[in-house]
Each structure stands twice: as structure tokens, then as C-alpha cells.
Amino acid sequence: MMTRDEMARRQAAFQRDANRRVLPAWLVVLFLTTFLPWGLGGNLRDSGGPKWVTHALGATGFVGVLASVWWFGFRVNRFQRAHQLVCPHCGNGLAARAGRAALKTGRCGRCETVIVADPTGEPVSPDPAARKVRDRRLVRLTMTGCAVGLLFAWAAWVPLKLMGEAPSHLTWPVVVLFPLAAFGWVTAIVVLPVQYPRRATACLFAASAVALVVAVLAAALSVPGFFDLADPARQP
């Protein structure tokens, strides 16, 4: 069993390693899987390239966002294991927020097992009631903020659209669905992990996937002929 000093040392080493090797690599992955396909697709569309290729590149970019998020989680998990920063009982990672909690109490924040040789004896969650109040406040604040943001976005776009002053890419599906996807996503990634703390990562992933699908749907509904991916050879 490690001591709390040892855990602090491992956490610092993990952080240094992660900053140097995971974050920059993630940016490269995001560029290759998302921004490069989107950029190429945009160029091809402007130069009148085959439609199905631009659509395929667009779809690749969206899958790429999810893939890069998954890759990031995978790398972080591997680095945590390499630095021996996982709970020996439940496998919970002991870096970042979970790491600070573990350092403070000497226990794993998930299964509450003592994981260091010199625990403080402090309970993992000192005051569950206080935490509940804090969580409720956070949920209320987020939902109010996002509802106001959604109304503002619609209040700005819908009149423009009705007056026919909106730029051509602001089609009705975009006007209605984009703000919904964006503010719905922010709400979901704050509220869901509070509701299901044990499935926080799955919640983030699911919320991001739903928001992406809605955003793609809005974009697809706005591009004439998006759904008839006919054989490009037969297109005039």
C-alpha cells in the first residue's frame, strides 16, 4: 500500500506526463479525425466535387469528434494505470478530482475502500446533505441559464428568418434545432452526471452523441438532396 505522500508524487508525475503527452496528441487526433475531413469537404463542395465525397467527409468529421473523445478517455486510463493511480479494489482512476478526494481522505471515492497506508479517517463525502444542496443549486442554475440562452437564440434568429433577412445557411431546421442541440447538450452534461454519478462518463458520451445527431440532422435537412445519395456516376 502506498502512503499519501507517494500518491501525491504519483499524481504530480501523472499530471506532468498527461500535460506533455496526452493533450497535445489529442489535439493532433482531433485535427486529423475532424477538422481535416471538414476542411477538405468544404473545399470540395466549393469547387464542385462529387457530392457523396463531401457528405462522407462531413460524416467522418462527426464520427471523428466522438472517436477523439473516446481516444482521450482511453489514453488517460492507460496513463493512470501506468502511474499506478487506480483503486486496487474497483479500478477507479485516482487522478484529477477523484485523486484530490483520495488524497484528502485516503479512500477511493467510488468504493470507499482505504487505499493508502496512512488514511486521515475523514469520511469520503463529509456532508452528503450539503453536497445535495450544492448539486440542486448547480442543476437549477444550469437549467435556468440554458433556458434563457435558448430563448435568446430563438428570439434573435426567428424574427430574422420570418423577415427573410437571415443568411442562406440559417435554414429553419438550423434555426430551430441548433440552439436546442447546443443548450440541451450543456444542460445534459451538467445535470446527468449529478443524477447518475456512477455513470458520469457514459452520460457525457451519450449526451454528446445525441447533441451531435440533432446537429447533423439539422444540417442534413438544410442541404437540398442530402438524403438522396444517388450513385455519383448517374448524377448530371
Task: Pick between residue 88 and residue 126 the one whose CB is nearest to Zn ion.
Answer: 88
Question: Are the C-beta atoms of residues 56 and 62 closer than 8 Å to each other?
Answer: no
Q: Is 108 in the site for Zn ion (CB under 5 A)?
A: yes
Looking only at residues 114 through 143 of this chain, which bind Zn ion when binding is defined by CB under 5 A? none
Q: Is 80 in the site for Zn ion (CB under 5 A)?
A: no
- In a 10 Å sphere around its CB, with 0-12 CB exposed, 13-18 middle and 19+ buried, how is residue 236 labelled? exposed
Question: Are the C-beta atoms of residues 81 and 104 closer than 8 Å to each other?
Answer: no
Cα–Cα dist 59/111, whole Å: 40
Neighbours of 123 (CB within 10 A): 11
Q: Any bridge partners for residue 86, and if so which?
A: 93
| Residue 89: strand, helix, or coil | coil
Selected binder of Zn ion within 30, 57, 85, 87 (CB under 5 A):
87
Per CB under 5 A, the segment of 86-94, 144-152, 169-177, 181-189 that binds Zn ion is 86-94
Q: x/- site string to Zn ion, residues 28 to 67, per CB under 5 A?
A: ----------------------------------------
Q: Is 111 in the site for Zn ion (CB under 5 A)?
A: yes
Residues near Zn ion, by CB under 5 A:
87, 89-90, 92, 108, 110-111
